[in-house]
Each structure stands twice: as C-alpha cells, then as structure tokens.
Structure 1
Amino acid sequence: MNSVRARILGPVLCLLLLGDLTISWLALRDSHREIEEIYDAQLAQGARLLQGVLRQKAPGDLDLNALYQAFDQAMSRVEGGEAAHPYETRLTFQVWDSAGKLLVRSAEAPVLAAPPATVGSHDFLENGRDWCGFLLPDQQQGLLIWVGERDDVRQDLIQRIVRHTLWPTLLGVPLLALAIWLAIGWGLQPLQRMARVIRGRAPESLAALDLAPLPKELQPMQTALNRLLQQIDNLLGRERRFIADAAHELRTPLTVLRIHAQNARQAPTAAQRDEALDFLVLGVDRAARIASQLLTLARLEPRLEGSELQTFELGTLVREELAELTPLALHKQVELVLDSPQDCLLHSAPAAITIALQNLLTNALNFAPAASEVRVTLLRQADASVHLRIEDAGPGIDEPQAARLLERFYSQGNHQGAGLGLAIVDMVVRKLGASLHLHNRPAGGLCAELRFKGDSVVTAASGA
C-alpha cells in the first residue's frame, strides 16, 4: 500500500463500517424492543377503551351481538378505508365473565379453552401461530377483557419500520466514504504540492525548498530536507575546493619534477646528474607536503563541523606536540622551549588544536635560523582567556601583507612551502571560536598567538 491516501482511507473506512454495523445492530435491537413495547401499549389502550365502552351499561343490559359487530368492524378494519394507516394492525378481542365463560369474541381471535392465566401483556402459541395479547380484568363488572394480535403481522410491520430506519444509514456509508476520500485528498494537497515541486526540480539543483503556507506537520520535513540539501551542498563544495586546490597546487610541482627527471637523464656528468636528482628529491618532498596538507585540510573541515568537544589539559597537549617535533628541531639545530607557569583545562576540540599547533611549530622551525630557539608560552589573562604564543627568531613577516598569509597557497619567503599551513590554522581557530594573531617581535622574528576565549576555559590550577 504505497499511497498515503489509501493508507489513511483503508483503516478509516474499516473503522467506519465496523462502527456503523455495530451502531446499526444496537439501534435495530433497541428499536425492535421499543416498537414491541409501543404495540403492547396499544393493546393495553385497546383493552381499556373496550372496558370503558362496556361500563356504559350494566352487564345484564349488554347486547353482545351488537357489541361484537361494532368492535369487530372497528378493530379489524385496517385496509380499504380512506383514514387507514399503513402501520395499523388487525386487533382481535375476547370477553369472558368472572367464571371464565366466553361472552363474545371477534371472528379472527384465537379459540381459547380458558382465559389466559397471565394478566397484562403476554405471548402464547395457538394452532401454530404466535399471538401477542393483553388481559385486563374488570372487577367492577366481573369481566375479563382480552385484546390481541398475531405476532407475524406485528413482526412484518416492525421489520418495515426498521428497514425504513436503516436504509438511510446503509446508503449513507458509500456517500460518507466518498466525502472522506475527498476530504483526505484535500488534506493531502500540501504534501502532493511538495512532491510535485521536488519532482519538478532540476537534478543538480540544491536550492532550499520554500513552500508556503505549509501545515505544521510538514514544516519539520521541509526543514530536514533543506538541512540535507545544505549538507550535500557543503560536501560538494568541499570536494570541489579539494579538487581545485589539488589541481592548482600539484600541477606546477609535477611539471618541475618532470623537468628535473629529464635533466637527470640528460646530464653529461655525474655531478650534474646528482644535482638534478637532489632537486628531484626536494620536489618530491614538497609535493608530498602539499598532498599531506591538502588531505589534512579536506579531513579537518567536516570533522570540525561535527566534532564533539572535550575537556583536556592544554599544557599537556603542548608538551606532547613539542616532544613529537623534537627530532625535526634537532635536525635543524633549533631548541624548543616551553614556558608554561600555569596549566589550564580547556573545553574544546583537542585534535583540531593539535593540527593548528603542529602547523605553527613546523612553520616556526622552517624559518628559525640554526642555533636559535622556538619558544612556546602558555599564559592566563585577567579576563580568564588563554593565550598560546609561538615565537621564533626568523625573518618575520611583512605586516601589511599579514592578512594574505592566511590565504590558501600564499607563501612568503619559502618557495618550498605549500602556502596551506596558516590557512589551516585560521580555519581551525575560526571554527573553534578562537583567534590567530601574527606580529613581528621587537627583537626580531615572528610571534604567532592563539587566543582562546574565557568561556572555553574550565578551570585553572597552579603549577609549573
């Protein structure tokens, strides 16, 4: 059952039909009982009416033949007359004296050997026919007055009444089902309109849906679809950026590598061949660094968007990163120094901060001259913020061009660099709500400072 309308209409119609049948059965049962009571009441009224007529004369003065003629015609004439009603029944009567002697009875009345033993309403079987009767004793005149009718005639009339009552209900079910079908269709129009809009969109379109007015039940669906479209657009954007970055940055190094390889093949002397091979090794290293940083940039961006923040000790993270970069510092004859008079707990993304710190330290080691030092300082400020400084003794930066250093593939003073390190750091700090500041030191060199806001600092403990 793929149609929403069918999924709704099927159970609704089943419940409607079941409820209608149940209500109709209860109505039929109660109506049948109530109509039976009404006909029994008519028998009682007929008996009392006959009693009132009989009391007009003394028992000895009764003309039973005239009484028979009058009442038999009055109580059994139910058809052929202008004033006849279709629901009238053929009433019969009998009158006994107090001794049980039959005085008079109508022609269609059942032949009873004795008056019924039950006073009031009663049913009995006589000559294969069911009868309904009412026996009224008249103590004043010493008479027993009985008025009755055939049960099959009564039941036929009751069935006619009940059928006339049920027909509107039975005929109304299909009409009601049609009305429900149309009402559900009207209610599903916003969903159908949304489906038409989605089907009519171009396959490459990632624009947000903007359907209005929209029922509140469909608003979460539209919000979820728009969020999914935005996520797909972001994913495709990252892929396009990665492909564009890789194509842009790797094209030139690969061309240079080819030139160095050709020079090595065509070198007339061993010294020139070794020189070309050295350039080839440097080019391969640079291409490897570019590929590594491109992959880091591609992995880092979505991870920052969905990363879970953690509470960690920033000083410990800095020490671990310095220990990891110690071999590179020894190779470049640069000393790594940590100045952390206070440790602090930070609530942030440690993996992202590690990547940012690694890029800043690697950048500082690349520009620091031999026999110098790279100093890392961790400071707590009065406003509860934390500043992480990386200082080197390199050539520094051209401060008017400082903003461009954060652009992708822009590298100042290092032709072997990829120009992605500071761009990665800038992206990390912006995602984490921190900030990056670059300025030249008065004594020479560059100071790169990461500033973490006070709301990300959990606690601080004194210690070296």
Structure 2
Amino acid sequence: MAAVQRPTPAYSLRRRLLLLLLAVSALIWLATIAAAFLRAHDLADDIFDAHLQQTARLLLATEPTSGHVEVRPTPGAAGGEVLFQIWRRTPQGPVLALHSAGAGQTPLTAVEGFAETRWNGGEWRFYSEWSRDGLRQVQVGQSHDIRYALAQEAAMRLLAPLILGLPLLAAALWVAVGRGLVPLARIAEQLDRRPPDSPQPLGSGPVPAEVAPLVQALDGLFARIARLLDNERQFTANAAHELRTPLAALKTQAQVALRAGEGEVRQRALLNVLEGTERLARLVEQLLTLARLDPGANASLQPLDPRPLAREVCAVLAPAAQSRQVDLALDLAGSDGDGSLTLAGNGDLLRILLRNLVDNAIRYTREGGHVWVSLARDGERVVLAVADDGPGIPAEARERALGRFTRLAPARAEGSGLGLSIVQRVAELHGAALSLGVGPEGNGLRVLVVFPPLAA
C-alpha cells in the first residue's frame, strides 16, 4: 500500500498568530508613544508659555536704563534661552530701550499675547505685553526646538522598553500560542492513530470552544462515512446473494442441456439459459444504475418537457405489455393552457425512473390487466402517476418496499427488488416527493412522483 503523502503546509498557524499578536502589540505601543508625545508637547507648551509670561512681567517690573542697551539673553526653563525686547512709547514713536543679544532691532512680533511663527530660520514662540501705563511693551521669544526635545525625550522613555521588551514578549507569546494550539495537535494525533473504519467520535473529552466546531464537523463526517460503509457492506452482501441464485440456475440449466440429447429437453434448457441470462443482465444493469445514483451523485437539472420521455419509455415497453396482454395507457392531457408541461429535470435519470415504474407495473400486474401512465400539472407542480390493477402493496409494507432487494411476492416476482429504490433515489436527486398508494379502481398500486415548481 502506498504511503499517504502529507500536504505541504502553506503557512504556520503558530507563526502567523505570533506575528499578528506582535504587530498588534507594537501598534498599540506606538500609538501610546504618539499619544504620550502629543501629551508631553502640550505640557511643555503650558510650562514654557507660563515661563515666557512670567519673564515678560518681570521685565516690565524692571526700570530699564535710559538709552539703547543690549544684554545677554535670559536663561529659560530646561536650558532654553529667552530673547527679549523692551520698547518705550515716545511722541516720535516706539523706541527700543533694552534687548537681549540676538533679538535684533525690529519688533519680534506684531501680535499682542502669544504667537507662533517662523523667525530667524526656525519655529519660535513669542509673547508680547504692555505695561499698565501703556508706555512700555515687552516682547519675549523662545525657540520651539526645546519643546520638541522634551516631548521626544518623554516618548523615547516609552520606546526604550518596547525595543528591549519586544523579544521577550515574542518568546512569551511563542510559548503561549504553542500551548494554546496543543488541542489541535492532540486531535491530529488522534486522527493519525484512528482506524479507517472506526465509528467512534473524537469529541469524547473537553475541547476549547474554538476547536469544538471542527471536532463536531469531523464527528459528523465520521458518522456519515460509517453509515456509507455499512450501506456498502449490506449492498455488497445483498448483491452477492442476488447474483448467486441466477448464476446457480444458469449453471443447472447448462448442465441439463449438456446431458440432454437433441430434443425438446435440450431446447427448453437452452431457452431457460437465455431467460436467466436476460434476468441476470437486468440485475447487473440495475446494480450499476443504483451505484451511479448512490450518495455523492449530482444531477444536472435543466428545464425540459417529460412527455417525449414518457412516450419513448411506453413505446419501448409496449412489447413486454403485449406479451402479458396488459393494456398500457398513456395520458398526457394535463398540461398548461399553452400546451406546455415543463419541469427541472435530467433526461437520462427521468428515463430511468419512468422505465422502472412502468416495467414494475407491467411485471406485477395480473395478466390481462391495466397499467396507466399520466403526466399532469397540479398548480405549479408536475405530477407523474403510474398505476396498475394488480395485487398492490399493503399499507404497512409500502415503506419497506422502497428498500433495496425487497420483493414482496417472491413466488411470482421476476425482478431484483431494486426498481423502487432506484425510483426513490432519482426522485431525491430531483427534489421530488415519492408516495405509494392504492390504484384508481381501489386495488393495485399507484405511484405518485410530484416534482417541485420550476424556478423562475
């Protein structure tokens, strides 16, 4: 037996989960760092704005020396130097009375209060305020770089643990994800050790909620496989039994023909061999048909008119009906107002269904009896009816009659007991309802096949 080739894994679930968790963790951490940077920047703005305002008011409280004086810049918070200018209002206009080195000879800002603008090639924050008497104005300014530097420092303090802790987090997640996937590995081990014909379910112990649907689906699959194997074993046993009987009869008749001389006995034995061969061929044909229609088969359904199929089948089986003096009647009057009668069907399968129903009716009705075949419309549904005036099937035995290899009248029956089971399977493939009842004259059997409405 060839070794089973294991599929090449497309990806590692463990690695994918690890990467996803690390990516989500890193994104959350980076978002936290960004939020911390923005928060630190806002706090730095508040602190440095308060310092600028305090510096301006201290300068207003200082009486400047008369004339134009330049001094060193005022030291600011966190080492950020503050430039300043003090302007005095005169009848000739504003005069610069005092300024720090680097502040220049022109006003730092034209806006009263706080203002942020580009100055001297960089981003600066300015504050301007007049004295109470309106004679002096102080303008102070500080580069914005110090504020960004403090916010970046706060963000880096959070980024450093991320850089150092990410490998440790990856190792912890690798172990955690591995432990979380242990149930899947356990299930794979159970499946690897499982006998191919074992009907036992996997879900014998507690499993995680995420794995439970997989286990339930596998248990359902195993149950269906077990039923299929049981049906196959039963079908094989029944088929072997059914084939053994006609083969034994053929062998016996052939031996009789060999022992008999030229005459009537030999002729009768050879005729029996031919009849037995025909019955065996029919049995094999029905076995092959049933195997083709077993679970897993799919029918390609197309809109079609079943009346030509009914005419064809009745024409083919007319000689068999005449040989038994059976009156075979076909009624196709019940069509739509425009003369059409359409259903969703498969022509080959419907031919098999019609042939089995009509052939069964001819075989099981009495000699000189009647068989009726009709196609009619009942609302949106198409109804096929095949009836006879033979012995019929008792109500308590009708369900059993749909089983395989079931013959309710073995003393008289020539069939294999597969006809109605084939009909039932074809009806299932068409979504049709199959029912057995009493014939139109109160005796015999009437088989109804009701096809669903044709989809719009």
**Fold equivalence (TM over 0.5):** yes
Distance 2:52 2:440 in 1: 119
The answer as to whether partners of 1:426 and 1:436 remain within 8 angstroms in 2 is: no
The answer as to whether partners of 2:343 and 2:453 remain within 8 angstroms in 1 is: yes
Paired residue for 1:448, among 439, 445, 450?
445
The answer as to whether partners of 2:362 and 2:371 remain within 8 angstroms in 1 is: no
User: How far did residue 180 of structure 1 move?
Assistant: 9.7
Match status 1:52 vs 2:61:
yes
The answer as to whether partners of 2:365 and 2:389 remain within 8 angstroms in 1 is: no
2:437 match: secondary structure: strand
The 5-angstrom pairing of residues 54-133 of structure 1 reads: 54=63, 87=78, 110=101, 116-119=105-108
CA shift in 2, pair 1:88/1:19, >3 Å? same
Distance 1:132 1:342 in 2: 99
Counterpart of 1:171, as a letter, is P
The Cα offsets for residues 158-197 of structure 1, whole Å up to 9 and x where unpaired, read as 6356323431244247768987998999899998646644
Match status 1:297 vs 2:290:
yes
Q: Bigger radius of gyration, 1 or 2? A: 1
The Cα offsets for residues 47-89 of structure 1, whole Å up to 9 and x where unpaired, read as 431431438xxx69xxx9xxx9xx99xx77x9xxxxxxx9466
Distance 1:299 1:277 in 2: 33
1:343 match: secondary structure: coil
Distance 1:296 1:313 in 2: 23
Distance 1:21 1:405 in 2: 73
The 5-angstrom pairing of residues 20-31 of structure 1 reads: 24=33, 28=37
Distance 1:88 1:189 in 2: 53
Tell me the equivalent position of 1:359: 356
The answer as to whether partners of 2:357 and 2:423 remain within 8 angstroms in 1 is: yes
The answer as to whether partners of 1:242 and 1:298 remain within 8 angstroms in 2 is: no
The answer as to whether partners of 1:402 and 1:438 remain within 8 angstroms in 2 is: no
The 5-angstrom pairing of residues 303-314 of structure 1 reads: 307=299
User: How far did residue 418 of structure 1 move?
Assistant: 2.4
Distance 2:83 2:394 in 1: 124
The answer as to whether partners of 2:246 and 2:276 remain within 8 angstroms in 1 is: yes
Match status 1:343 vs 2:334:
yes
Counterpart of 1:320, as a letter, is E
Tell me the equivalent position of 2:371: 375
2:372 match: secondary structure: strand
**What is the TM-score of this pair, normalised by structure 2?**
0.61
User: How far did residue 206 of structure 1 move?
Assistant: 5.3
Aligned length: 411
User: How far did residue 239 of structure 1 move?
Assistant: 3.1
Listed as ranges, the gaps of 5+ residues in structure 1 are 79-85, 126-130, 459-464
The Cα offsets for residues 80-100 of structure 1, whole Å up to 9 and x where unpaired, read as xxxxxx946677989899987
Paired residue for 1:321, among 308, 313, 316?
313
Listed as ranges, the gaps of 5+ residues in structure 2 are 1-9, 110-114, 336-340
Tell me the equivalent position of 2:338: none
Distance 1:187 1:7 in 2: 10
Tell me the equivalent position of 1:433: 433
The 5-angstrom pairing of residues 131-142 of structure 1 reads: none
CA shift in 2, pair 1:22/1:269, >3 Å? same
CA shift in 2, pair 1:158/1:269, >3 Å? closer
The answer as to whether partners of 1:322 and 1:336 remain within 8 angstroms in 2 is: no
User: How far did residue 209 of structure 1 move?
Assistant: 6.9
Tell me the equivalent position of 1:171: 161
User: How far did residue 437 of structure 1 move?
Assistant: 3.1
**What is the TM-score of this pair, normalised by structure 1?**
0.60
1:434 match: secondary structure: strand
The answer as to whether partners of 1:9 and 1:181 remain within 8 angstroms in 2 is: no
CA RMSD in angstroms, aligned pairs only: 5.9
The Cα offsets for residues 216-259 of structure 1, whole Å up to 9 and x where unpaired, read as x8787677656655654554444334322222211233334344
1:171 match: secondary structure: helix
The 5-angstrom pairing of residues 400-411 of structure 1 reads: 408-410=405-407, 411=409
The answer as to whether partners of 2:440 and 2:446 remain within 8 angstroms in 1 is: no
The Cα offsets for residues 297-350 of structure 1, whole Å up to 9 and x where unpaired, read as 3333448x85577776666554332112123334x2635431638425585767
Tell me the equivalent position of 1:81: none
Match status 1:334 vs 2:332:
no
User: How far did residue 422 of structure 1 move?
Assistant: 4.5
2:276 match: secondary structure: helix
Tell me the equivalent position of 1:247: 240
Distance 1:148 1:369 in 2: 119
Distance 1:440 1:133 in 2: 107
The Cα offsets for residues 347-380 of structure 1, whole Å up to 9 and x where unpaired, read as 576766654442343244446677x353316498
Distance 1:456 1:42 in 2: 87
Distance 1:420 1:290 in 2: 8
Tell me the equivalent position of 2:6: none
